[in-house]
């Protein structure tokens, strides 16, 4: 039985990847960082909490990673852990650099020391394209990071390439465009909107305060995207791949469609609030995933419309249940 170790098991992608790998017959080890209350809600939501073997690990502590690798002896390591919220990275640039940038290098170092045959996946990001140099963005597009988060991801990305070339480690980078789900953190704009719609629908809120409505993103479905991570590690050679839908939509469109799902007009509820504007924003991200389609045989399954509807439905259900409404 193959063994995988996932860092960031408590996050959105950690939960969906664990579910995917369990279905593939893997023994799944989920690395979590110690906190007063460990958040296993997402694993519980997917009904896999009991099937994932939890191991304590902090990305900032090389020794803890080495110990986990020695104990678990995984075939594959998926490094999903990060300070992943772009807005917070402007307030906490140093912490973001240490976790999101150096944290990945700690995992690579641990692999080099413990067993360089372990395959490694790095969660790179379309944010690395930032102030985009080409439209759409593919594996050849130069990076132009626009936030401390994106700069940290560029560093981790190039270190992944470097460990592949310098030490022959099977290290892959997935340059994933935004991907969402009912398990998305509430601070990210899509989930903030669908949660807001549900709260407004059930009378718990009167308005929804947002920042830049013109920003456009290539939003895909998290459950579709985790398959690509696994496919990358099953290829004969390690490489880097863009994973995207190829379609861009604005925050305004996402909001309009979400409110329309419950028969409301978004303009009656959305208030633009400067506190949600970023010092430097990324205006347009749209990916070209042709390489993933040709080499991995991967393509997205969920449309933008289906994604919005699925997220709104899930938040309506959750708010309804919390109120005890039938
Ligand atoms: P997420 O929900 O924010 O999850 C991040 C995970 O990292 C959480 O489990 C968090 O644990 C963990 N973590 C943070 N600091 C840590 C540390 N010092 N040691 C160990 N674990 C730590 O993010 P996601 O949306 O699942 O994304 C997964 C990865 O893909 C991230 O690296 C993200 O930057 C990248 N990415 C995401 C997207 C996207 O659209 N979702 C797109 C491109 C790239 P706690 O629960 O303890 O906070
Ligand atoms: O949902 P967001 O916070 O996601 P962002 O910044 O694109 O980052 C996410 O995707 C990246 C992949 O490209 C990941 F690497 C990263 O870890 C994360 O998962 O914001 C999307 C857009 C931005 O332009 C933001 O300015 O929405 C705009 N926005 C407008 N109002 C808002 C809001 N974003 C948030 N979070 N909250 C708002 O009220």
| Per-domain residue ranges of the chain | 3-179+221-243, 185-218+247-284+302-323
pTM of the model: 0.98
* Residue 219 near residue 249 (C-beta atoms within 8 A): yes
Residue 42 is predicted with a pLDDT of 98
**Fold matches, 3-179+221-243 and 185-218+247-284+302-323:** no
Mean pLDDT of 121-128: 98
Is residue 128 predicted with pLDDT exceeding 90? yes
User: Given a cut of 80, is residue 113 above it in pLDDT?
Assistant: yes
pLDDT band at 212 (very low <50, low <70, confident <90, very high): very high
pLDDT tens string 283-305: 999 999 999 999 999 999 999 99
Taking 90 as the threshold, does the pLDDT of residue 325 lie above it? Answer: no
For residue range 138-176, what is the model confidence (pLDDT) as tens digits?
999 999 999 999 999 999 999 999 999 999 999 999 999
First to last CA, the chain: 44
How many percent of the chain have pLDDT more than 90? 99
How many Å apart are CA 44 and CA 40, to the nearest integer?
6
What residue ranges line ligand 1, CB within 6 angstroms? 7-8, 10-14, 33, 35, 39, 58-60, 80-84, 99, 103, 123, 125, 176, 178-179, 185
Write down the residue that tokens 């963005």 correspond to: 137
Q: Which of 177, 178, 218 has most ligand 2 atoms within 8 Å of its beta carbon, as the pocket-test mutant? A: 178
Encode pLDDT of 227-286 as tens digits.
Answer: 999 999 999 999 999 999 999 999 999 999 999 999 999 999 999 999 999 999 999 999
Q: What is the pLDDT of residue 236?
A: 98
**In the predicted model, is pLDDT for residue 318 greater than 90?**
yes
pLDDT the model gives residue 224: 98
Is 80 exceeded by the pLDDT of residue 77?
yes
CATH number for the domain whose boundaries are 3-179+221-243: 3.40.50.720
Topology given in CATH for the domain delimited by 185-218+247-284+302-323: UDP-galactose 4-epimerase; domain 1 (3.90.25)
Q: Which residue has the tokens 């390439």?
A: 161
Residues contacting residue 108 through CB under 8 Å, at least 6 positions apart: 120, 159, 160, 163, 169, 171
- Probe target for ligand 1 pocket from 64, 68, 81, 302, with the most ligand atoms within 8 Å of CB: 81
Query: Average model confidence (pLDDT) for the chain?
Result: 98
């Amino acid at each position: 039985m193959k063994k995988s170790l996932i860092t960031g098991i408590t996050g959105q992608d950690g939960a969906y990847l664990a579910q995917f790998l369990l279905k593939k017959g893997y023994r799944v080890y989920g690395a979590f960082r110690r906190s007063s209350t460990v958040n296993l809600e997402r694993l519980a939501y997917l009904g896999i909490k009991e099937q994932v073997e939890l191991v304590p690990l902090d990305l900032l502590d090389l020794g803890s990673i080495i110990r986990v690798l020695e104990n678990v002896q995984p075939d594959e390591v998926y490094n999903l852990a990060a300070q992943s919220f772009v807005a917070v990275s402007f307030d906490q640039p140093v912490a973001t650099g240490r976790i999101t940038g150096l944290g990945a290098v700690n995992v690579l170092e641990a692999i080099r020391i413990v067993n360089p045959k372990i395959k490694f996946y790095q969660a790179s990001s379309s944010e690395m394209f930032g102030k985009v140099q080409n439209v759409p963005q593919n594996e050849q597009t130069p990076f132009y990071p626009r936030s401390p988060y994106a700069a940290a991801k560029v560093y981790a990305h190039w270190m992944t390439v470097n460990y592949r070339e310098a030490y022959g480690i099977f290290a892959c980078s997935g340059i994933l465009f935004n991907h969402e789900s009912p398990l998305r953190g509430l601070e990210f704009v899509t989930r903030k909107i669908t949660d807001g719609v549900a709260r407004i629908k059930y009378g718990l809120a009167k308005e929804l305060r947002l920042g830049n409505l013109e920003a456009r993103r290539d939003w895909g479905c998290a459950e579709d995207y985790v398959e690509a991570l696994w496919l990358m590690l099953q290829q004969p050679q390690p490489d880097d791949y863009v994973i995207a839908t190829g379609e861009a939509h604005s925050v305004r469109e996402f909001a309009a469609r979400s409110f329309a799902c419950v028969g409301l007009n978004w303009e009656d509820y959305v208030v633009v609030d400067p506190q949600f504007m970023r010092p430097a924003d990324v205006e347009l991200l749209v990916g070209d995933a042709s390489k993933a389609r040709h080499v991995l045989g991967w393509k997205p399954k969920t449309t933008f419309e289906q994604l919005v509807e699925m997220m709104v439905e899930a938040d309506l259900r959750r708010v309804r249940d919390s109120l005890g409404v039938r």
